[in-house]
Structure 1
């Protein structure tokens, strides 16, 4: 006979094991912020939650609870229970949570128990989970040594980080490439969701690699619209550096792969071939427009003409060569001067500079050198 599991407080173990969780809050609450291992199976939909909220304000808690049970018709109740049972069968090790560990979690538990399934909840709900994560994130930032991987746009910093176990891909968490042309077709996570994902990545790294420095890509305060925690940003400003340097040809190849091939494929996968291509082209022009002021009118016109030519060649002959002069000039006129200025402001010690191959080859010695200092 299976042992009945008990309700728990938020814990490190939940996130180290990527424990499945059933978020029974309304979809609007889930969209605002939840957890990467959580699935939304709400007790109340957005409209029902709104109705009950108004009733609570106007008539008090007893009337609001009564309205909740009134809205839970036999058909609605059956649908909810069946969905929850499906989740519990797939995830026998999971947990329930609502906003504060109150009525919604307990009603979900009660209905499941009546259907023969005893399933535990997380005490304090999402509010307690988020507080736990923020505290863990503060601790991990405070206790971690940080090394910054820096390098010009297109040098392959993210690819390098993905080959190292003690690294966190901040751009991946923010779903943004960290540049004016770095947007994806899907929106970025909300700030709350980004913070939750970052906190989990930090606490996992801190747990599994306690004696290794944390490697991060050189980022500004904002990655798209997602903001880094001030404590982490402050630590990054003075952290020692590994400088990734690659020749222009290599950087052009990465630029075409990421900003043309990958972006276009992503758009086509979502919108279909024609609409995907049109959206891709529109995004390029919008990105160029965002940096017009910094470029100046003359250079902006040159780049706009190059973009026209590149897109025409791409559309008519499926030829990507027109993007090379466009990306070359973007790097030379916009990205490289901005990077060189930012690098001149760095105060951290330079540990090593070289290509990705050289960095990977010398990486063990770089870590030894860092630990000695």
Structure 2
């Protein structure tokens, strides 16, 4: 597989829909056919192969001409260009021929995106085990994610899996206005982050279950994390409630929206407990509701989950977070780097 960093421009010739699902990091979508045109060509191809190609080429030439006029001038003419489509076939060939004729230093990715995707899957089996992991564990709202950010600021090597997944990891963990990446693009982004890291240094991560929202973590990563060093994180309930009020402000303003998501676990907590949540939400007592959610659902659920993944977690060192402010967490992170990041 190519070293993609050597290209000044990577052109993804596929449709916008294909590009949105997954693409090579840094690639620019310059489709030879748009979504509707791609569907039209595909439908006609079933009954009239030559007619489909004829329409497809006409669309492609018009679209490539537009890209040459509007998009290509934004990039250096003397740089290396890589072009790819789904399998490295007709769409990338149309782009390749046009650019080569003009005089660009252009290459076509053999096997296209499909070969790239196969390479990503292979890498996600072999790359994660290369690292020595420091795994932060602790119940929801205890400040693990903020501590992870502070560790990064303190100079530690960090991969924030929830940041890549664009999700906080629970049933109410969706980030407002920010949809999750597809599974394929999550894999791409994860591999990109791991590629930036040095296996000779510890890699700090947060303990996660198999899925973060709708995306699944590679089995090789989870297995490698279980073999790492676990560090427990603890904060008192007052601080945890305040953190929830900041991170879930949208639910404090829309408690019914939160209850709508929580109704799927009603059978787990029981009708009586769920009705208490409804009562607190109706009365606007959000700090009380957040605390009750943590004490009666999230904390026990996390405890069961973490013991399944890390049976010896109780033997791990404990970090008390008495100050969840950025300055307070940075001070703790610097101490942790001195103690563990060697």
When normalised by structure 2's length, the TM-score is 0.84
Matched, 1:156 2:180: no
Point out which structure has higher relative CO (alpha carbons under 8 A, 6+ apart).
2
The answer as to whether partners of 1:10 and 1:132 remain within 8 angstroms in 2 is no
1:60-139 equivalence runs, <5 A? 60=49, 62-72=50-60, 74=62, 76-89=63-76, 92=79, 95-114=82-101, 117-139=104-126
Matched, 1:192 2:206: no
Matched, 1:145 2:145: no
- C-alpha displacement at 1:91, in angstroms? 10
Change over 3 Å in CA distance of 1:55–1:233 after alignment to 2? same
Change over 3 Å in CA distance of 1:210–1:77 after alignment to 2? closer
The answer as to whether partners of 2:64 and 2:95 remain within 8 angstroms in 1 is no
- Pick the aligned partner of 1:303 from 273, 277, 284: 277
1:189-228 equivalence runs, <5 A? 189-205=181-197, 209-228=198-217
1:1-373 equivalence runs, <5 A? 9-11=1-3, 14=4, 21-60=10-49, 62-72=50-60, 74=62, 76-89=63-76, 92=79, 95-114=82-101, 117-162=104-149, 163-164=151-152, 165-185=156-176, 186-205=178-197, 209-260=198-249, 280-310=254-284, 322-345=285-308, 346-348=310-312, 350-354=315-319, 355=321, 356=329, 357-358=331-332, 360-368=334-342
When normalised by structure 1's length, the TM-score is 0.78
Q: Distance in 2 between matches of 1:249 and 1:156?
A: 12
Q: Distance in 1 between matches of 2:188 and 2:203?
A: 18
The answer as to whether partners of 2:22 and 2:185 remain within 8 angstroms in 1 is yes
Change over 3 Å in CA distance of 1:90–1:282 after alignment to 2? farther
Q: Unpaired runs of 5+ in structure 1?
A: 1-8, 265-276, 311-321, 369-373
The answer as to whether partners of 1:166 and 1:213 remain within 8 angstroms in 2 is yes
Q: Unpaired runs of 5+ in structure 2?
A: 322-328
Instruction: State the number of aligned residues.
Output: 326
- C-alpha displacement at 1:78, in angstroms? 3.1
The answer as to whether partners of 1:168 and 1:216 remain within 8 angstroms in 2 is yes
* Root mean square deviation, CA, Å: 2.8
